[in-house]
Amino acid sequence: MKVLISGASIAGPTTAYWLTRAGHEVTVVERAARPREGGAPIDVRGEAVEVAERMGVLDRIRSVRTNTQGILYVDRSGRRSTRLYPGDFAENPGRDIELERADLVSILYDAAKDDAEYVFEDSIETLAEDSAGVDVTFARGGEARFDLVVGADGLHSVVRGLAFGPGGTHHLGMYVALVPVDPALGRADWGVMHNSPGRVAGVYSHRGSATGFFMFRSPELSYDYRDVDQQKKLLISEFAGEGWQVPRLLDAVRATDDFYFDSVSQVRMPSWTRGRVALVGDAGYCPALLSGMGTTLAMVGATALADALAAGDHRAAFARYDLAHRPLVDHAQAGVMRSAAVLIPATRFGIWSRNQLTKLLPLAAAARRSTRRRAQV
């Protein structure tokens, strides 16, 4: 089949890898000029580690893993309030892998680029489907016909909008911003975070570099997705007057041209496929940035779709894809508001309670490990 994939981040190249290996002719169209770097470290968890192994990229992923020791929460003057260790909350401690997002994007791009055709700086403009295929026009003026179209173009997916209509996204009442910062603002291999009610600012240091991180609670805001200066102003006014290193992090926001700002949202769809179009990754089932599961869902979902297509025609395959992948998506989406309560409590009392409760987490984790050991015996 001729397959068009929109998006070259995590879901797109993983889908391209599997579909080219199955003998399909794959084109990947990406709006940016190259695979987009940037972002804080991300996690490859559980079944996604198995996917990486099947793709033959696990050793490369492991070789660039970060060495995060944990998260320190500090007060306005920088004094430690509490800390969290990865083992306190990881579902598969020792097996899950954290790495820089840019590293994973480039590993997956390398895995797929020789067998798929990549087209950068372009985007799907229209889709017109009939019983035998999909006619596609592109923003730069081209047109072509494909047997299937896969939307792997993230939270604001163009393919989702064109094939399914508006809707599907659910704002979770928070916004996030990321900016590269001077590692001296943080502490090597630690996340350092400062909360005030409804806000968190932090520095995540990894492999010699560092990402400044902001989140704040807010109802849905109206702003221009393309107007980065407007987004910067919005963030700066939200965090004005905060203590700790926040003024210096805001200086980095003012100075950067590598700024990421987005709503913390989930995508919930009753079906990820319609006709000859399928959605993969954040485009179909974004679990929200703070779930730590977006990458895992994207890699596992892309593989589930390709496995399903290997077994037969696209109609039956799309149904199998949904059946195979939905339990993991539901699980990942369900846990997000619990993470929000820990990361970004809405009140002073919430921050205090979080600090007290996190002190008990190492005890809870030890109890879980001992129960697991007893069950194995």
Q: Does 212 bind ligand FAD (CB under 6 A)?
A: no
Binding string, residues 64-103; x marks residues near ligand FAD by CB under 6 A: -------------------------------------x--
In the complex, the smallest distance separating the C-beta of residue 57 from ligand FAD, rounded to whole angstroms, is 15
**258 backbone dihedrals φ, ψ, rounded to 5°:** -120, 75
Q: Is there binding between residue 259 and ligand FAD (CB under 6 A)? A: no
Number of neighbours of residue 335 by Cβ within 10 angstroms:
16
- Tokens representing 42 are 């991300």
Q: Is 154 among the residues that bind ligand FAD (CB under 6 A)?
A: yes
289/346 Cα distance (integer angstroms): 18
Per CB under 6 A, contacts with ligand FAD among 40-69 are: 40, 42
Q: Which of 4, 11, 7 is nearest to 298 (CA)?
A: 11
165: left (phi over 0), alpha (psi -120 to 50) or beta: left
Q: Please, what is the minimum distance in Å from the beta carbon of residue 334 to ligand FAD?
A: 17
CB of 74 to ligand FAD, least distance (A): 21
| Shortest Å, Cβ 5 to ligand FAD | 9
Q: Does 278 bind ligand FAD (CB under 6 A)?
A: no
* 219-221-226 Cα angle (round to 5): 150
β-pair partners for 44 = 97
Least Cβ distance, residue 157 to ligand FAD (angstroms): 7
**Which residue type, as a one-letter code, is found at position 151?**
G
Q: Is the dihedral angle over the CA atoms 178, 181, 187, 189 positive or is it negative? A: positive
Q: Which of residues 155-174 bind ligand FAD (CB under 6 A)?
A: 158
The site for ligand FAD (CB under 6 A) is made up of 6-12, 29-32, 36, 38-40, 42, 101, 123, 152-154, 158, 178, 260, 281-283, 289, 294-295, 298
